[in-house]
Amino acid sequence: MNASSEPSTSAPRTAGPGDDAALAARLAARDPAALREVIACHAAALHRACYRMTADAHEAEDIVQEACLRLWDQAPKIAARHPIGNQAAATLRLGGWLQRVVTNLAIDRLRRTRRLSDGEVPDSADEAPLADTLIEAGERDGTARALIMALPERQRAAIVLTYYEELSNADAAEAMEMNIKAFESLLHRARAALRQAWTAQGDAP
């Protein structure tokens, strides 16, 4: 993985039902080739998401490596919960499991290093189209990225997962280990904060 710049946007391979359970079983049996397959399939997307949250390629790489090590360590438990041939095997998504881990690790690291207070922005009219516009138009000159990096950690994660990783609200909520209503409330506040920050610098459309 190239840690000097943001990774490519190539998507991981699509697994069929039960494929990840078989992969988990191989990890549980301590098959190093299985871990290499996981890294090949998911590391680039995970690193991209971490980079967008932390703005630090080396930090993102460390987070992804830690997540993969956690998967290796916890593979026996995961495989036991999703045995091959059982109906539960079809529900296992290692990519989703890893996304939850890296999201939480990134939030934890950001909280440890953040020096500014994490004040909540009161709920206001959710200008979702404006948030979309800010991200699409502002990305050209880096303005939107800078404003997103200034958001509180969980708000930043909600924006990254929704707008950059293009996860559905349900998948993003799962990645952040939240119920869907709590995630949508968080995303609402993140959009409001982004709009407020944009307006404060005098560049609101």
pLDDT per position as a tens digit, 79-96: 999 988 888 788 899 999
pTM exceeds 0.85 for this model: no
Report phi then psi at 117, rounded to 5: -70, 150
| pLDDT of 204 above 60 | no
Domains delineated in the chain: 19-113 (1.10.1740), 128-200 (1.10.10.10)
**Weakest mean pLDDT among 6-10, 36-40, 127-131:** 6-10
pLDDT per position as a tens digit, 24-49: 999 999 999 999 999 999 999 999 99
Higher pLDDT, 166 or 13: 166
Helix, strand, coil in percent for the chain, rounding step 5: 70, 0, 30
